[in-house]
Amino acid sequence: MAILGELNMKMLRLITAVVFLIISVSPVPVQAARLKDIADIEGVRANQLVGYGVVVGLNGTGDKKGTAFTSQSISNLLERLGVRVSPADLKLANVAAVVVTANLPPFARPGLKTDITLASIGDSTTLQGGVLLMTPLKAADGKTYAVAQGPVSVGGFTITGGGDQTQRNHPTVGVITKGATVERDIPYDMFAKGQIKILLRDPDFMTATRVQSAINMFLGHVEAKAIDSGSIVLPLDQNKTKDPVELIARLEQLDVEPDTSAKVVVNERTGTIIMGENVRISTVALAHGNLNITIRQETGVSQPNALGGGNTAVVSNTDIQVGEEAGLLSVVGGTVKLGELVTALNQLGATPRDLIAIFEALQKAGALHAELMIM
């Protein structure tokens, strides 16, 4: 019995080791993403709202007297409240005209709160401390879908004193968290066509095919069909699918490995460069040299002798030296990948500014097999 028990224990350990080995070597999706993170469902979208309003209560930082639309807006407001005042008689240093924008969330119902953003359209210097008066927000169809009002929060400031001015961020733009109340919903039946349409955020034929395969594998039969590089359609069978909302919730959790095209994104203002892993370059020779310019200026005083004639004068001496480092011609390429490309360029001593020029030259030479996007 002891020998049998020992054999059973060894067999259990062996089975455990085999199961662990199978789990460790089982294929795992590389760079897989959830379907909800790379695609949207048709009809599930926000709608933009815009309105014109006035901010009051500013500490002398509002629109100046010459801003006609601000004076006219306050005059119209006071008239609706029973006070008639001519716009020419108003001095509105504490009032600023603003444009209010917001996004109406998908399937928003009356009573829902949403955030709003305000931006000054006059010559106000800051909206800090102001309060937005009731402002209707309209959509592209001209109908009012929300009403905004409340105290403005500004993430910047302006300080002026002694002829100097210090500014942080943009004090003429503010936000009101949950500052708009939805008053009208947008009726939409996303299942009226009897199908679910999935829209890829970055259209790609390979990604669309993988999404189609993942959905059909999840369903156990072929139903989903990719109709182009950015759309996958899944018909709804009323007899089989009683709860399409639950079906969408499960489909959004499917893991799909997206396929993207090779891109190089550069920002010339900040010197930022972002490259995808699929960037390739053909064999090419690169020469890198830096042009150094040194400007040296000295200011002195030319003063004549005590008994000599002449005037005292200020003399400026300028010395300009121009030098260029010898550029080393290096061979880079052979259909290399991103890591090899970056290593080769770093060996040339290239800075981000130099890399931008190098990438532009590579594209013109036809050696860069990627889309170069300059921001």
Q: Which domain holds residue 286?
A: 263-295+319-374
The answer to whether residue 23 sits within a structural domain is: no
Query: What is the pLDDT, as a whole number, of residue 61?
Result: 85
308-350, pLDDT tens digit by residue? Answer: 566 666 665 545 444 445 555 455 555 556 566 666 666 666 6
Contact by Cβ (8 Å): 215, 224: yes
| 77/94 same-domain check | yes
Q: Is the residue at 121 inside a domain?
A: yes
Distance (Å, whole) CA 21 – CA 16: 9
Same domain? For 72 and 166 the reply is yes
- 14 lies in some domain: no
Residue 305 lies in a domain: no
Mean pLDDT, residues 226-241: 82
Amino acid at 72: Q
Number of domains within the chain: 3
The model carries a pTM of 0.65
Same domain, 156 and 76: yes
Q: Are residues 138 and 217 both part of a single domain?
A: no
pLDDT score at 145: 95
Q: What is the pLDDT of residue 176?
A: 94
Assigned domain for 159 exists: yes
Q: In this structure, what token pair is assigned to residue 264?
A: 């190089």
pLDDT at 56 over 70: yes
| Residue after which a domain boundary falls, among 134, 153, 182 | 182
> How far from the centroid of its chain's Cα atoms is residue 91's Cα?
40
Band of the pLDDT at 19, cuts 50, 70, 90? very low
> Do 245 and 273 reside in the same domain of the chain?
no
Q: Give the HSE-up count for residue 198: Cα atoms under 13 Å, Cβ half-sphere.
A: 31
Degrees to nearest 5, angle at CA 263 with 262 and 269: 170
Task: Please state the φ and ψ torsions of residue 100, each to the nearest 5 degrees.
Answer: -110, 130
Rounded Cα–Cα distance for residues 31 and 29 (Å): 6
Confidence band, pLDDT 50/70/90 cuts, at residue 146: very high
- Residues 6+ away with beta carbon under 8 Å from 291: 322, 323, 324
**Average pLDDT over every residue of 1-29:** 46
168 and 80 belong to one structural domain: yes
User: What H or E segment, with its residue span, contains residue 218?
Assistant: helix 205-219
Please tell me whether residues 178 and 53 are part of one structural domain: yes
Specify whether 52 is located in the same domain as 157.
yes
- Intra-chain end-to-end CA distance of the chain, in Å: 77
* pLDDT, tens only, 157-211: 666 555 555 666 678 899 999 999 999 988 888 888 888 999 999 899 999 999 9
> What DSSP state is assigned to residue 336?
B
Residue 283 lies in a domain: yes
Asked, for residue 236, whether it belongs to a domain, the answer is: yes
The SS3 call for residue 167 is strand
Tens of pLDDT along 271-310? 777 877 777 777 766 665 654 434 454 666 666 666 556 6
Q: Do residues 102 and 168 share a domain?
A: yes
- Mean pLDDT, residues 6-21 taken together: 47
Among residues 161, 182, 203, which one ends one of the domains?
A: 182
Residues 83 and 273: their CA atoms lie apart, in Å, by 59
Q: Are residues 78 and 118 in the same domain?
A: yes
**CB 100, CB 50: distance < 8 Å:** yes
Indicate if 276 and 354 belong to the same structural domain.
yes
**Between 26 and 48, where is the model more confident?**
48
Instruction: Give the pLDDT band (50/70/90) at residue 243.
Output: confident
The amino acid occupying position 237 is D
Determine the distance from the C-alpha atom of residue 182 to the mean position of all C-alpha atoms in its chain, rounded to a whole number.
26
**Between 23 and 233, the higher pLDDT residue:** 233
Residue at a domain's end among 256, 274, 305: 256
Whether 233 and 287 map to the same domain: the answer is: no
Domain-located, residue 82: yes
